[in-house]
A and B are shown apart, each in its own frame.
Chain A
Amino acid sequence: MTAADLLTGKFVRIGESHTVAEAIGIIFDPESSSLREIIVVVLAGDGSYLGIVEPRDILESLGTELSLAGDDPVAQVEGIRRGLAVAVSEIAKRNIPAARKLDNLATLLTIAARTDASAIPVFEKRQFVGVIHVTALFDALCKATIAVEESTLPFMSGNPQKS
C-alpha cells in the first residue's frame, strides 16, 4: 500500500487571507460534517499548498489571545474577537512533514509519528495532490495486521474483515 492508495482530495480548502472566524464557520458548515475528518487546507493565492489548520490550532490561537487579555472580561471578549479576525495563514501549521505519492505504509507511519497533525500533505513532483488523514493511515495499518494474522491463523477472534 502506498500514499497514492490513501490520499484524498476531499478536504476543506480556504484562502490564506480568510479569517479564523470564517474557518470556524466552514468547520461547522453542514457540508463539512459529511467529511470524515475536518481538515482545513490553507492555500496561497496561486493555489499552492501553504499549511493545514485544525480545530486545535484555532483553540490555541484563541487561548493565547485570552491569556494576553488577563482577567478583564471585556478585554477577554475583545481578545477572542481579535483572535477570530486573524488570518488563517497566521495560525496554519506549515512545517508538517510531507509524503510522496509512492511512499510505502512504513514510511507514512514514520512521517505521521513525527507530527501532531491529523493529516499529512502529499506531493508529486512538488505539486500538492492531497492529504492523508491519520485515520486512513490507521485503518490501513489495521488491515495490514489483520492480513498477517489471517495468514498465520485460520480464524481469528475479533477480526472485523472476516466473513
Chain B
Amino acid sequence: MQKEKITTFKPSSLVTGLLRYARTDARADLIAGLTVAVMGVPQAMAYALIAGLPPIYGLYTAIIPTIVAAIFGSSNHLSTGPTNAVCMVIFSLTAALPQRYGVSQLEVVLLLTFLAGFFQALFGFMNLGGVVRYVSNSVVVGFTAGAGILISVNQLKSLCGIEVSAEPGAHFLVTLWRTLSHIDQSNPYALTIGLGTIVILALFKKFASRFPGQLVAIILLSTVAFLLGWDGEGMGAQRVKVVSDIQEIKPALEPFSIPHLLRHPNLNLLRDLLGGALSLAILGLIESTSIARSIASSSGQRLDFNREFIAQGIAKLVGSCFHCFASSGSFTRSAIAFQAGGRTRMAGCIAGVCTGMILLLFGPLANHIPLGCLAGIIVFTAATMVKRERFLMTWKSGVNSRIVLGGTLAATLLMPLETAVFAGVMISIVILLRVTGKPDLTQLVQHPDYGFEEVPFNRAAPSPVAIINIEGDLYFAAAEDLDYELLHALRPETRVVVLRMKRLRAVGSSAMSMLEHFHELLHARGIHLIVCGVEEEMSDVLTGSGVRKLIGEQNIFYADNRIFQSTELALARAMSIVEMQRTRSESTTVAAQSQALVDITAAGLMQRRCLRFGAKHQTREAMWLISQFQQKMKTGHPQTVFLQDEEGKLCGEISLRSILKQLAGTISDEMASEIDDATLAKLMEPKLFQSILSFSLHHPITLAHDTPLVQVFSRAARHGFRPMPVSDRHGRLVGVFDELAMLRGLTMLVKTANRAAETDLNHPVGGDDTESSSTSSGNSTHHFKENVT
C-alpha cells in the first residue's frame, strides 16, 4: 500500500529559505526596492495632487498598497502605488461629491478605494482574470493618451501658479479656457520652478535616465526657492506655494481605521460611487495586468492574473484603512524595479518599507517642496504618457484600430472619465461583431502544379465550378444575407457551386437556414450545390436541421486530416455533374441529327451516365464512389470508372472486377475461410490506400462520339466487348458504350434489316412512291450493310 506523503511545516525550512534568499536575491531586491522608493516619492506626492488630495496621501499610497500587493501578487516586478491615470479617474469621480453630500473628499476617496478593491478581489476570486484580454491595446493607448492630456491641462494652472475659480470636476475645456484667460496673472516664480523642473526632467531623461531626476529636481528647486525666500510671506501675491500650504506632512503613518463612510454608510453616495468604483477597478486591473504582462514578456515569468486581481483588490481594501487612495501598477516604477535587477516580489516590499522610512526620516523636509515643482513633474510624466511610437503603431494598424483608438481618446476627453474605458470596450466589441459578422470569403481555383490557389472572392476566372471558401464565425449575424453575398461568385457558365466550410465556427440554425435558402436560390438557377470540408460538429448540425437530406449525401464531403482532400473529391463530383449536363445538352442535338440522318453513331446509343473520377485519388475513394453510384443510379450493370485529369480528359479506366481481383490478391484461398470481415479489411488496407492509377488500365479504347455503329462493333469485338468510353472532339468523356448499348445497337440493326426486308417485299416494283420507298429502304439497307460490314 502506498504511503501518503504528509507535508508538515518545519521552522528549520523557513530559516533555510531565508538564508538562501539572503545569499542569492536579497541584495538585488534591496537595490531595486531602494531605487523604486527614491524615484517614486516625488511621483507619489505629485499624483496625490492629480487626485485632488494633499501630497501626504500619495506617500501613504506608495507604502501600504505597495507592500500588500507585492505579498499577494504574482508578478515579481509589478510595482503598485499611485498612478496618474487612476488618480485622474479618482478626481473625476469624487470632485463633485464632497459638496453634494457634505463629507470630506478624503472620506469619499477612501470609500471609492474600498469599493474598487472589493470589485477587484471579487473578480479574482471569480476567476475572471481572462477578462482583461477583451480590452484591446487600442483602448489602453487611447485612454492613456486622453488621460495624459487631461492631466496636463488640469495641472497647467498649478504650473503657472494661477488661482482659477472653476467648480470641481469641471470639463477640461472649461478648465483650459479659464486657465488661459488668467494666464496674464501667472506667478513668474512658480512658473520658473515648474518649467525648471520640466527642463531638469527632460535633461535627465535624455542623458541620465537611470538617475532619479525627479528627486534631484525637487531637492534643487526646493533649496533654491527656500534660499531665495520665494516661499516666504514677504513675496505677497507672488509667493510660491509649498506642500505645507495644502496639508503639513508629519513624519508618521496613519493608524489603522475603517473608512468613516463604511462605518456610517450613506446609501445615496454609495449608489453614486458604485459605477465609478467598478470602472476604476477595471481600469486598475487593465493597467496592472498590461504592465505585468509587458514586463513578464521580458523576464519570462508566467503570470497568474486571477492572483494579481486578488492582490490588487486586497491592496486597496487594506490601503483604504490606512488613508491610501486607489493604487495600481505603475509602469515607470515597475520598469525601474526590473531594470535595477529586482528578482522577487520582496523588491516591492522593500520599496514600500523604504518609502515609509523616507517619510519618517525626511517627511518634514517635504513640506518645503514648491507645488510648482510637483506640477512640473506631473505635466512632464503626463506628456510622456502619450507614447508617440506606440500611438503611431496603433494608429497605423488598420482602420479598426484607428476607430477604437480615436473613439476611446474622444470618449476620455469628452465624456466622464469613468465611462471612457467602457466606451472604448464597447467600440471594440461593436467592431469585433462587425468584423466577425462577415465571414471571410475567398475562392479556390485548382492549379495543375500546386493544388488549389486561393483568390479573392468574386475574382476567380469564369468556370463551370465555383469553389467558395468560407472561414470564420457563422453565427446568426454572420449568416444574415450571406446567401445573397455568395451569389456574387456566380457567372453565366457556373453549373456547380462547391462551398468549402472547413474553418467555420459557431454554426447554428441561422447558418443552416441560410444554407437551405442558398440551395433554393441555386436550384432555381439550375445550379448544383456541393459542400465539402464538413467537420463533425457541422455534420451533426446538417443532420439535425435536415439540410443534409436536402443537399444530398452524395453532395457532402467530409474533412480529413489531409488538406484539400475533401475539396478534391467535391471537385471531382462537380466535374462529373458538369460533364453530365454538357453531355445531356449536346446529346439532344446529336440525337436529333442522328435521327434526321438515319445514321446511328456511338453517341446515339451510348450510356450517358457513367462514372468518372479524378486520377489522383486513392482506391478506397474509388470503391466508395462506385458503390454509391450503383446504389443511387440503379444501374443495370457493374460499372467501369473512367479516370480524368484536371482538364477533364480521359487518362485511364478501372473496372469493378479489376479492383476485386487486386483485393483478392491479398488473401490466399486457404486462409480465406478463416478470416473475419475486419481482418479481411485490414489485409486489404495497403491496397486501398494505393493510388487508383495503380489499378487502372492506362490506355482505354476510346470511341469518338461520331463513330459509326459498324465500327463500334468491329472495335468492340477486337477488345472482347469491353465497355468503351466515348469522347467528344475535345477529348472529353461524354459517355460509355457498354455491353447493353452494344446489344441494343445490334437489335436495332436487326430490326432495321427486318423492316427493309418487309419494305422490299411490299413494294417490289418501281413507281414514284415505290421509287421513293425503294430509295429509302435502299438507304437503310445500305446503311445496315455498311454497319454490319
Contact = CB atoms under 8 A, between A and B. Distances in A.
B4 interface: no
A147 interface: yes
Interface residues of A, number: 63
Given A1-B677, A60-B721, A162-B558, A28 B744 contact: yes
A55 to B, nearest CB: 4
Interface in B552-581: 553, 557-562, 565-566, 569
B638 A38 contact: no
Contacts of B676: 104
Contact of A84 (B566, B620, B750): B750
Contact of A66 (B672, B717, B747): B717
B789 to A, nearest CB: 6
Interface stretch (B130-138, B274-282, B461-469, B621-629): B621-629
Given A27-B743, A37-B637, A158-B566, A138 B558 contact: no
Interface stretch (A41-49, A105-113, A123-131): A105-113
A113 B785 contact: no
A145 B620 contact: yes
Interface string B673-685: 1011111111011
B753 interface: yes
A81 B757 CA distance: 13
B605 to A, nearest CB: 13
B126 interface: no
A162 B788 contact: no
A109 B672 contact: yes
A76 interface: yes
A106 B743 contact: no
A93 B105 CA distance: 109
B557 A158 contact: yes
Nearest to A33: B636
A24 B747 contact: yes
A68 interface: no
B627 A139 contact: yes
Interface stretch (B364-372, B378-386, B491-499, B655-663): B655-663
B445 to A, nearest CB: 22
Nearest to A1: B677
A160 interface: yes
Interface string B381-393: 0000000000000
Contact of B660 (A1, A80, A107, A113): A113
Contacts of B620: 145, 149, 158
Contact of B638 (A58, A135, A163): A135
Given A109-B672, A134-B660, A158 B569 contact: yes
Contact of A59 (B635, B667, B671, B721): B721
A148 B739 contact: no
B678 A148 contact: yes
Interface string B616-657: 000011011011101100111110000000000000000011
Interface string A76-88: 1100110010000
B637 A118 contact: yes
A110 B559 CA distance: 34
A105 B634 CA distance: 23
Contact of B624 (A77, A112, A158): A158
Contact of A154 (B536, B562, B657, B740): B536
B539 A162 contact: yes
A59 B678 contact: no
A14 B388 CA distance: 95
A81 B744 contact: no
B716 A59 contact: yes
Interface string A135-151: 10111011011111101
Interface string B513-529: 00000000000000000
Contact of A105 (B543, B636, B677, B789): B677
A34 B634 CA distance: 8
A160 B193 CA distance: 83
A136 to B, nearest CB: 9
Q: Mostly helix, strand, loop or mixed at chain B's interface?
A: helix
Contacts of A145: 620, 623, 681, 684-685, 688
Contacts of B675: 104, 106
A84 B751 CA distance: 12
B749 interface: yes
Contacts of B553: 160
Nearest to B620: A145
B664 A110 contact: yes
Contacts of A36: 630, 634-636
Contact of B636 (A38, A84, A155, A163): A38
Contacts of A122: none
Given A27-B740, A81-B750, A145-B620, A156 B560 contact: yes
A155 to B, nearest CB: 5
A73 B657 contact: no
A77 B787 CA distance: 11
Contacts of B769: none
A57 to B, nearest CB: 9
Contacts of A24: 743, 747
Contacts of B656: 134-135, 138
A159 interface: yes
Among B539, B638, B675, B749, the one with the most A-chain Cβ atoms within 10 Å of its Cβ is: B638
A163 B543 contact: yes
Contacts of B668: 110
A81 B675 CA distance: 50
Contact of B628 (A81, A118, A160): A160
A85 to B, nearest CB: 11
A67 B634 CA distance: 34
Contacts of B681: 141, 144-145, 147-148
Interface centre among B557, B665, B740 (most CB of A within 10 A): B740
A132 interface: no
A56 B721 contact: yes
Contacts of B536: 154-155
A16 interface: no
Among A1, A54, A157: residue with most chain B CB under 10 A: A157
Given A73-B789, A77-B753, A157-B565, A58 B657 contact: no
Contacts of B628: 160
Contacts of A116: 657
B624 A138 contact: no
B672 A148 contact: no
Nearest to B634: A36
A73 B543 CA distance: 61
Given A71-B789, A135-B630, A145-B623, A80 B749 contact: yes
A5 B684 CA distance: 21
Contacts of B672: 104, 106-107, 109-110
B557 A80 contact: no
B660 A112 contact: yes
Interface in B717-754: 717, 720-721, 739-740, 742-744, 746-747, 749-750, 753
Contact of B788 (A73, A112, A149): A73
Contact of A142 (B627, B634, B667, B746): B627
Interface of B: 535-536, 539, 543, 548, 553, 557-562, 565-566, 569, 620-621, 623-624, 626-628, 630-631, 634-638, 656-657, 659-661, 663-665, 667-669, 671-673, 675-682, 684-685, 688, 713, 716-717, 720-721, 739-740, 742-744, 746-747, 749-750, 753, 784-785, 788-789
5 contacts: A112-B664, A139-B627, A144-B678, A157-B557, A157-B569
Interface of A: 1, 24, 27-28, 32-38, 54-56, 58-60, 62-63, 66-67, 71, 73, 76-77, 80-81, 84, 103-107, 109-110, 112-113, 116, 118, 133-135, 137-139, 141-142, 144-149, 151, 154-160, 162-163
In the A-B complex, the 7 residue pairs with the closest CB atoms: A157-B560, A113-B664, A73-B785, A55-B739, A148-B681, A106-B672, A76-B788
Given A106-B679, A148-B681, 10 more contacts: A66-B788, A80-B788, A135-B638, A141-B623, A142-B623, A147-B677, A148-B685, A158-B557, A158-B620, A158-B624
